[in-house]
Amino acid sequence: MGMSAASSVSEAMKLCIFDLRRGQHEGQELDKILYFFPADLPFPTQLSVIGLSEGLITFTRIFSPEAPCEVIEAEKHSHIFYEAERDIWMVMVVEKSESEAIWRTAALRSVLKEVHSLFVMFHGSIRALLDREPSGGLTRTHLYYFIMDYLSDFLSGKKLHLPNFRDSLKERGMVQMLTIGREAALEVQSLVRVLESCAGCTQSYSLIMFQDMLVSTTLSPDDLVNLFTYTVMRLTPDALSAGASSWSYLRKGSTTSNASGSLLTSSTSVLNRYYSSRDTSPVGVRSYQVVRPLQHEKWSKGKDGFLVTDIWGTEVGSLSPSSPTIWLKQTEERMYLCAFQHRSLTIILFIPVTSVHNGEQGLSVVKQQILENASSKIIKVEEKLSRGWGGENAYHVSGYRYLLVDGDRYISRASPPGKVTTLTKDSLVAMSKLREEVDLEKSRAKCDGSDCEKDQEICIRAKNGAWVISRLTRGKELYMVLEKANETLLYASEAVEKFSDRYCSGVFSL
């Protein structure tokens, strides 16, 4: 399941998904493979990687039945494990051969978590798909196209750029909130009430974003993270205009519209090669039509302001595109995704499919209600937020390069990427290693069942003289680099205190 050029794209990374419940009998080993990248690797090589991973999982379960291995560090490779669903494992193997190959294993695992969470939001759980069609053909096809489209966001030329030390002041799986004043907040609340009335049902939810930042939502935290991520990847004005993901860790503009296509070269022939190699399907090679929600340049803004796409196909007996749907974790219900955009403001309504009578026709009525009843409020909110917006450097603090993480609320705030790039490699490598230590301490505390929210502070002097600092308290984390700080630790500590008092309400003050 892959592409003929896979090896040239990334020989330094392998990614596989396999099911421990499948392929346990001799001659059926291939059946356990649900996804493998690069897919043009010989099957014996794929089985070797998966066999090693399966052995490590089995061995570590002897000592830790509920939490088997998370990472194995070898001389030339790192093996990152993630049990996405019961007995369904995702494993990433990355080489350590390059000078840039300095990473946090938690950051790489967050990539695995993110792609699985997004997959479930659109397609449901992998286990449910396998139960629905035990041959696994549909599941493999879904996973293949979805993950390849996802990986295209990391592609630059013929090289995949996964999160490394240069991303040590970023955090996946978090939401970035826009700070707004009281007057603007009241206008937003009023708009939310109008949107709920337009939806015409009590079980609808909303998401309002300005630029790439969250303004308001009624979603649960888990659903919010997934939908915020997807919105920034494909739906915000920046994402639509760039034709590529603004959420990518790459520099702006480095991901081209052909990225996904280059990863998917000769996909049909390789999929056929994969299916024809197994005897599990009595009907032979099958062709599956699947929805690809992460495709680039598939969303556009209509004349009425609503975002449209043909990703979900067309209505039966009509040329009109079918409306997008997603699966909400909170309600365990499929919802229509109805997106509207006015300048820098993106508004998304999530409406239960079962509550919309006459399907697409009923959804058109909801859209008309929004245009008639909410347009003036949408314009007003966008104007107020635009006046108060400080631009891409709105959250820059002179002299500081920082990352704030509120793990309980899934919220983060960080120095603008353009400011972080001014840091030296020594500073970024030191921060990456410091965060690796913090991750290790949190993992130990979790395994021991001890208090993982205890206060903690680490200060390191980097090779270049910069101070690299972390402070953790009550589920909140602060990471900071001070390159122009004084020689003394006291000076650096006082600088952190000032930052905490002024921008964090004293949460990190000692």
Nearest partner of 89 among 104, 98, 97, 79, judged by Cα: 79
**Mean pLDDT, range 125-145, rounded to an integer:** 96
- Which tens digits make up the pLDDT trace of 322-356? 999 999 999 999 999 999 999 999 999 999 999 98
Residue 500 clears pLDDT 80, i.e. is over it: yes
For position 248, what pLDDT does the model report?
41
Mean pLDDT along residues 290-310: 95
| DSSP annotation string for 367-399 | HHHHHHHTHHHHHHHHHHHHHH---TTTT--TT
Residue 275 pLDDT grade (very low, low, confident, very high; cuts 50, 70, 90): low
Residue 37 binned pLDDT confidence (cut-offs 50, 70, 90): very high
Predicted confidence at residue 452, as pLDDT, reads 57
Confidence of residue 473 (pLDDT cuts 50, 70, 90): very high
At 5 the pLDDT is 39
**Cα–Cα dist 176/230, whole Å:** 13
Phi/psi at 351 (nearest 5 deg)?
-120, 130
- Between 489 and 249, where is the model more confident? 489
Using 50, 70 and 90 to split pLDDT, how confident is the model at 281? Answer: very low
Q: Is the pLDDT of residue 316 over 60?
A: yes
pLDDT category of residue 26 using cuts at 50, 70 and 90: confident
Task: Supply the pLDDT for residue 359.
Answer: 82
Q: Which residues of 13-24 are buried (b: 16+ CB within 10 A; e: fewer)?
A: bbbbbbbbebbe
Sign (positive or negative) of CA dihedral 229, 234, 238, 243: positive
Tell me the DSSP string of 30-48.
GGGEEEEESTTS-HHHHHH
pLDDT digits (tens, 9 = 90+) for 427-437: 999 999 999 99
Is the pLDDT at 127 greater than 90? The verdict is yes
Query: Do 309 and 294 meet the contact criterion of CB atoms below 8 Å apart?
Result: no
Task: Tell whether the model's pLDDT for residue 10 goes beyond 60.
Answer: no
Give the H/E segment covering residue 89.
Answer: strand 88-95
Q: What average pLDDT score do residues 374-394 get? A: 95
| Mean confidence (pLDDT) of the chain | 87
Q: What is the pLDDT of residues 156-195, one digit of tens each?
A: 877 888 999 999 999 999 999 999 999 999 999 999 999 9
Structure tokens at 82: 């993630």
Asked whether residue 451 carries a pLDDT value surpassing 80, the answer given is no
User: Per mean pLDDT, which range of 100-109, 216-225, 333-342, 464-473 is the poorest?
Assistant: 100-109
The larger pLDDT score, comparing residue 144 to residue 452, is at 144
Q: Residue 251 — pLDDT band, cuts 50, 70, 90?
A: very low
Lowest mean pLDDT among 70-79, 218-227, 365-374: 70-79
> For residue 357, what pLDDT band results from cuts at 50, 70 and 90?
confident
If pLDDT is split at 50, 70 and 90, which confidence band does 454 have?
confident
The gap between the terminal CA atoms of the chain, to the nearest Å, is: 54
- pLDDT tier at 17, thresholds 50, 70, 90: very high
Sign of CA dihedral 311, 317, 318, 319: positive
pLDDT over 60 at 490, yes or no: yes
Query: What is the structure's pLDDT at 158?
Result: 78
Kindly tell me if the per-residue pLDDT of 314 is higher than 90. Answer: no
**pLDDT score, position 7:** 41
How far is Cα of residue 171 from the mean position of the Cα atoms in its chain? 10
Best CA proximity match to 116, nearest among 336, 289, 329: 329
Token duo for residue 495: 């600088």
Q: Which of 141, 160, 138, 142 is nearest to 151 (CA)?
A: 160
Q: Residue 270: is its pLDDT beyond 60?
A: no
More confident residue, 159 or 276: 159
Q: What is the pLDDT of residue 223?
A: 97
